[in-house]
Chain A
């Protein structure tokens, strides 16, 4: 579930407010959005992909609410890790076309 909107990183662009399919966030004028409906989070990780500054952290736990430790996550490279894996950050673009499914899953 969504656990963190980093106050220090967030630029209040509200992309996550739009991108979250189940409307978990509420926009706040001139401030980072708030996690208004955490219980509704479906742990789909999409908000992380749309955050341009890696300010969000979704814990892998789908049913339990935990508390994120921002500095630990930042040090471990977890913040932004999924965005890099799919090639959506500056510098990771080549990852966008490295899908190896044709080797391990389907023939074509």
Chain B
């Protein structure tokens, strides 16, 4: 096997290291990662899948469940589905990619049916496949991954990528936290499927999602895109983690004194955010007709769990609500995809699901709402196939490559002081949680936050890697810091309001900014623009002229 170059000792070096060889390494075992692993294995690749948590329960989908962008292959229905969200997304999505995702999602849902997913049937006996219950879906995906012969490493967060002398990605290493050992996988290609970044906000299932894959990608030079579309907030009962938002369509939102907050709804959350800046906000789901209640319970058992346990009847009793940051999880920013195989801008590196941008099908707005799930399963399948093909072309000699560790921050013993990862994480949260900073953005406040975030990043760069138990936390904190900086730099670069990105001093859409924003870099963050592919309606352009 080729040698590994370590200029600096890794902080985990005195742990034993278990080495594996694979054609394809998949990092992350949510929907995107499991579809990638199954597909790569079906093409004959030897696959290892490493998950920070447990493949099957970990990530945003497993505890929450997903409505899916599942539209019958009827041209009129598909056209309607594609057109439906173009305005919300600020005309930044790409029709060609929407078509591909609708096709692939349709196929994958039929595949799930064949694999035994228990889809409900209507009175006519027709299977209804538009929704996936998270626990059921991800338990099935885990069993399919195992059946495909994939080696799963649970509780094994990846810490950094490995690159060969030419800069191509050649594997990764991390820690198996329950086994107390380090792992290293030499691979022909790597799929990053680590989900988005929700900044440890305790939104449902999201505390494993700290932007690790974005940092690992950027450390080998991969580009990010649409990072300004990263300020999704989910509605939840104030005491609860359950940011399931669909049923707030049946809600009225009230102030403390019982007065209705006009215009506030599940879809118009900015009114809720504004009201929360003034005082507590309550919701009551009294717009749901009583004959719907049972069906609602059967559609989303997890939505009702916190209410039942807290002794609240949400249909008749008001309860305090909050907005928890879901960041890029239900935003659209992520690693930039450069071709149909879901390759990134770095050879050997592929991205899928929430770790990748969802701009291709959503432009500047998602909120989940079925597109993310469709994207995760489609991009996962493509990335798995792309990575398997790439690895096959390299041949089995890829293991002879001399490789370097690419981690930049909080992973090596480079002298300096040790930082407390939870203090770093709290400092990042203080910049990205407040609605008046992240929901309602303004150049002054973005600059102000960036000043502190940049300083925080540089402090981490010059700090010593934490000890073994804390290196995982330290890397998460570093990834959160980096993600916040890409977000706010991109947000500064878009001097308009478009998609989910709102600039207080630029409240309207500026037709001249009909472009996508690329971002990258670690110590110095850069941004640039690329033209969007779908035309904006002429009316907009005329209005501006």
Contact = CB atoms under 8 A, between A and B. Distances in A.
A60 B72 CA distance: 38
B81 to A, nearest CB: 10
B539 interface: no
Interface stretch (B15-23, B291-299, B512-520): B291-299
A22 interface: yes
29 contacts: A17-B178, A21-B59, A21-B207, A23-B155, A23-B178, A43-B240, A43-B241, A43-B242, A44-B57, A44-B63, A46-B63, A49-B135, A60-B305, A62-B240, A62-B241, A85-B301, A97-B119, A97-B120, A100-B299, A101-B131, A101-B299, A102-B122, A102-B128, A103-B299, A105-B130, A106-B130, A108-B71, A108-B128, A108-B129
A44 B71 contact: no
Interface string B28-65: 00000000000000000000000011101111001100
A103 B54 contact: no
B224 interface: no
A63 B306 CA distance: 13
Given A20-B57, A45-B302, 20 more contacts: A17-B178, A18-B154, A21-B54, A42-B202, A43-B241, A44-B63, A59-B309, A62-B241, A82-B301, A82-B302, A86-B133, A96-B133, A97-B120, A101-B128, A101-B130, A101-B299, A105-B130, A105-B131, A106-B130, A107-B130
Contacts of A89: none
B67 interface: yes
Contacts of A46: 57, 62-63, 135
Nearest to A57: B309
Contact of A102 (B131, B294, B306): B131
A7 interface: no
Contacts of A69: none
Main secondary structure of the interface of A (DSSP, over half): loop
Nearest to A60: B306
Nearest to A44: B63
A78 B304 CA distance: 13
Nearest to B109: A108
A104 interface: yes
Interface of A: 17-23, 40, 42-46, 49-50, 59-64, 78, 81-82, 85-86, 88, 96-108
B70 interface: yes
- The 5 A-B pairs of least Cβ separation, nearest first, read A21-B53, A101-B131, A60-B306, A21-B58, A102-B128
B470 interface: no
A44 B309 contact: no
A63 B240 CA distance: 8
Contacts of B120: 97-100, 102
A19 B241 CA distance: 18
Name the residue among A18, A21, A49, A103 with the largest chain B CB count within 10 angstroms. A21
A98 B370 CA distance: 19
Interface in B84-121: 118-121
Interface string B301-339: 110011111100000000000000000000000000000
Contacts of B135: 46, 49, 86, 88
Contacts of A62: 202, 239-241
A20 B298 contact: no
B308 A45 contact: no
Given A23-B53, A44-B63, A82 B130 contact: no
A44 B241 contact: yes
A29 to B, nearest CB: 14
Contacts of B205: 21, 42, 44
B305 A45 contact: yes
B305 A21 contact: no
